[in-house]
Structure 1
Amino acid sequence: MLAMNKKNFLGTVCAAVALAAVVSACGDGTTRSTGLEFSRNMYDPIAFNPDQPNKNFKNGITAQTPPTGTTPIGFTRFDYENSVEGYELAGAEITVNPLTVTEQNLKEGHALYVTYCAVCHGPEGNGDGTITKDREVEDSRGKRALENFPEPPSYQKSAGTPSSRGGQMSELTAGKIFHTITYGWNSMGPHASQISPEDRWKVVMYVQELQKK
């Protein structure tokens, strides 16, 4: 009997605590209060947010400029500037792809090429991508033609197409192709933010296969 009373008492206490917690967490509809909070330090981070003022630094800014020459974690540095001189230097110093030519790398390079490059350069690198052709769209404003992009030069050796920066497209070195993917050139925008350095080398590998045709 005593044990039964203890169980009933504990059950009543637990129910009362639960009810109090629910009621205290409810607002009255007129304030922004969230009621009582448990373990507030789980919500408020100890570390500063990048945009918060910070008295620990003389300039009062949390997001400090990294020291000159440092490299962020996960970032691969490309030590060639975005210029014609940088392009030529990359072409002269990087003549071999740092990745090993394998069936898997070529397969992934092809997939990346189709995703990012074929729309302009064409599936076989002939410069006949879909956005270089006549296209039209129809919507609530009616039917209208879309702007055509200029055809890029063909990569293929058989086409004998010269590069706008000199030499044949089929003779571009790995460094020149990588530099162009990274920084862009003419109508082609930079792809460094879209394609990782390793994947860029896979694209280079596939493009150099197209150069052989």
Structure 2
Amino acid sequence: MKGSTLAMNKNKFVYTAFLAIAFAATFSACKDKRSTGLEYARNMYDPIAYNPDQPNKNFKDGKTAQLPPAHTKPVGFTEYDEYPNTKEGYEAAGVSMVNPLPVDTVNLAQGKHLFTVFCSPCHGEKGDGQGHLVKIEKFSGVPAYQTGASSRGGNMVDLTAGKIYHTITYGVNNMGSHASQISPTDRWKVVMYVQQLQKGQ
């Protein structure tokens, strides 16, 4: 009898303590309308690293986003300085640059995929200049690789690998540069596939 009374008292005490804690938590959460209450694992929401636009006391200028040190290059970055973005650079690239990749099924398949993602919205999947953006936006001037004329002179079908690579790198007319989206090696794969489209394949 004495043990059961003690157990009942203990249960009442635990129940009363639980109610008191719940009431206090509810009351404290409700008293400030702007409060979001308690948050579990706040460090999961707040990043440890600085955001690029955030002030940063670790640098003299107080900015997080810093310019890279002089004369450094990102990993995997290949400069394309020998053929500048000029008519002369374009012509020189057309004469001197040769695709270093072997023409095989793997490179062609990857070139086709890259072309479909980056180029076909304007140039069309067949290279006919009738991509879906051309049809939606109703803008003209995207030449067909098989029959079109190049805005720089000559026919699209006669463009060399170097000229195509130069154009992908720098862009021309309404076409912007794709140097930041497509790596140098992948550009050559796109060139390879474009040359297949020039043949009507």
Check whether TM > 0.5: yes
The root-mean-square deviation of aligned C-alpha atoms, in Å, is: 3.8
Q: Are 2:78 and 1:77 aligned?
A: yes
Shift of 1:172: 3.1
> Residue deviations 1:98-123, cap 9 Å, x none?
4x544354334334434543454344
8 A Cα contact 2:99 2:188, kept in partner? no
8 A Cα contact 1:96 1:173, kept in partner? no
Shift of 1:149: 0.8
For the residues of structure 2 that align with 1:147 and 1:209, how far apart are their CA atoms?
27
- The amino acid across from 1:109 in the alignment is G
Mark the CA change 1:117 to 1:42 in structure 2 (over 3 Å): closer, same or farther. closer
Q: Which has the higher helix share?
A: 2
For the residues of structure 2 that align with 1:122 and 1:185, how far apart are their CA atoms?
17
Mark the CA change 1:118 to 1:44 in structure 2 (over 3 Å): closer, same or farther. closer
- The amino acid across from 1:191 in the alignment is H
Give the alignment partner of residue 188 of structure 1, picking from 175, 178, 184.
175
Q: Which residue of 1 aligns with 2:111?
A: 109
Give the alignment partner of residue 29 of structure 2, picking from 25, 28, 35.
25
Deviates more, 1:52-61 or 1:37-46: 37-46
TM-score norm. by structure 2 comes to 0.66
Shift of 1:95: 0.9
For the residues of structure 1 that align with 2:57 and 2:172, how far apart are their CA atoms?
44
Report how many residues are paired: 193
Shift of 1:52: 2.5
For the residues of structure 1 that align with 2:118 and 2:67, how far apart are their CA atoms?
32
Q: Which residue of 2 aligns with 1:141?
A: none
For the residues of structure 2 that align with 1:20 and 1:175, how far apart are their CA atoms?
75
- Return structure 1 stretches of 4+ with deviation > 6 angstroms: none
- The amino acid across from 1:117 in the alignment is C
Q: Which residue of 2 aligns with 1:205?
A: 192
SS of the residue aligned with 2:141?
A: coil
Q: For structure 2, which runs of at least 5 residues remain unmatched after alignment? A: none
Shift of 1:207: 0.5
Q: Which residue of 1 aligns with 2:145?
A: 155
For the residues of structure 2 that align with 1:165 and 1:18, how far apart are their CA atoms?
77
Shift of 1:86: 4.2
**Percentage of pairs with the same residue:** 55
Q: Which residue of 1 aligns with 2:99?
A: 96
TM-score norm. by structure 1 comes to 0.63
1:1-150 aligned at under 5 Å gives the runs 1=4, 2=6, 5-6=9-10, 9-10=13-14, 12-14=16-18, 16-29=20-33, 32-36=34-38, 43-72=45-74, 76-80=77-81, 81-92=84-95, 94-98=97-101, 100-127=102-129, 129=131, 147-150=138-141
